[in-house]
Structure 1
Amino acid sequence: MQQNMDVIEALKWRYAVKKFDSSKKLSEQKINRIKKALQLTPTSMGLQLMKFVMVESDEVKKKITPIAYNQPQIEDASHLMIMCRKTDVKPEDIDSFIETAAQTNELEVTHKAMQDYDKSLRVSLSIPEEQQKIWMDNQVYIALGNLMTVCAIEGVDACPMEGFNRKKLNEDLGFTAQNLDAVVIFALGYRSEEDYRLQFKKVRRPMDDLFETI
């Protein structure tokens, strides 16, 4: 496949790979481009209350395999990215964001624009913890959508995976202690020519059925 193709052609090309070619590895340059794209992902209020954990270690992959119900993509993929969110929103998360925003815009934290934004954030996020969790899960899915599109354009095969024991993964990989909660495991690499999914065409609802103008 030609690299960096037209986005529509890239989206036609991509699919959720079920069998990766374990002999093919992503270059450091390719991984860095994917990381940069994720850094630029839009999120609500710009807070990015998440962490993306890259797994390259074969030992760690083997540890994850039974937690992810023995799905072969875990060990066959070149890399795994575990997309986590924070367990809750803490005051210091907002403090840190406001400080970074002020520095980036060459303003004092005490500037009215920063103070107004700070107040707006705290009011918006003064919601029950369960609502915070749903909101932060949704932010990870925004990043996931961006990640799948970027991978397609870059000619990287991928498979997002929600089928895993979330509690056990958090505990075994030390996420719980870091106040992180794994939402999605994202396998990256290159498809195997033996992947049974290659024999099937992409199925999508017709445009007229999917869209409506009012």
Structure 2
Amino acid sequence: MQPASWGQSQVVDASHLLVFANQTQVDATDVDNYITNVSTTRNIPVEALTGYADYMKGAVGNMPDEVKPIWTAKQTYIALSNLLNAAAELKIDVTPMEGFIPAQYNEILGLDKLHLNAALVAAVGYRHADDETQHYVKVRKSNEDLFLTL
């Protein structure tokens, strides 16, 4: 995986490497599967979710095919944010990465055969005590540069 990750060492140094993959195809069947999961998880009759299901099917059905994988890729950031929050609570380090070649990940992991695409990677583990970069001051944009007040 390291060559497909621009040679970054955390890909092989981390105790775990998570690949967040998005669906490349989405249709009404995916909505039905989601609605069934909601029904089962929340103990709600499927019939009570019909309006929501119809709305979602319309939204997904009206989405151009080239936009669907972009939308599903953006959904992976929601899962990443949950990982980051949970890991921070447990004092576990996570390095989110977009610095990799998705097509190579897809080929190596066989994701393309599953109609999936590697969207994000996260190296998970504990930083080494000798890692000097852990003491660097974080570099962030100022609030004035980051936010636009309207």
TM-score by length of 1: 0.63
Residue 122 of structure 2 corresponds to residue 186 of structure 1: yes
Pairwise CA RMSD: 2.0
Q: Deviations over 1:70-120 (max 9, x none)?
A: 2111111111110111112132211111222223343432x2x32111110
Residue 92 of structure 2 corresponds to residue 121 of structure 1: no
Identical counterparts, % of pairs: 36
2:12 aligns with one of 75, 82, 88 = 75
Q: Deviations over 1:30-70 (max 9, x none)?
A: xxxxxxxxxxxxxxxxxxxxxxxxxxxxxxxxxx1111122
> In the alignment, which residue of structure 2 is the partner of 1:88?
25
- Aligned mates of 1:133, 1:158 — CA distance in 2: 25
Q: Deviations over 1:113-145 (max 9, x none)?
A: 321111101011121122111111111112222
Q: Residues 27 and 60 of structure 2 are in contact (CA less than 8 Å); yes or no, is this contact kept in structure 1?
A: no
> In the alignment, which residue of structure 2 is the partner of 1:197?
133
TM-score by length of 2: 0.87
Q: Which amino acid in structure 1 is aligned with residue 29 of structure 2?
A: E
Partner-residue secondary structure (3-state), 2:139: coil
Residue 70 of structure 2 corresponds to residue 134 of structure 1: yes
Which shows bigger deviation, 100-109 or 66-75?
A: 100-109
Residue 92 of structure 2 corresponds to residue 151 of structure 1: no
Unaligned runs of 5+ in 2: none
- Aligned mates of 2:8, 2:22 — CA distance in 1: 23
Q: Which amino acid in structure 2 is aligned with residue 89 of structure 1?
A: V
Q: Deviation at 1:210? A: 4.4
Unaligned runs of 5+ in 1: 1-63
Residue 37 of structure 2 corresponds to residue 100 of structure 1: yes
Q: Which amino acid in structure 1 is aligned with residue 12 of structure 2?
A: E
- Aligned mates of 1:162, 1:213 — CA distance in 2: 29
Q: Deviation at 1:209? A: 5.4
Provide closer, same or farther for how the CA distance between residues 114 and 206 of structure 1 changes in structure 2, counting only shifts above 3 A: same
- Aligned mates of 2:133, 2:26 — CA distance in 1: 40
Q: Residues 20 and 76 of structure 2 are in contact (CA less than 8 Å); yes or no, is this contact kept in structure 1?
A: yes
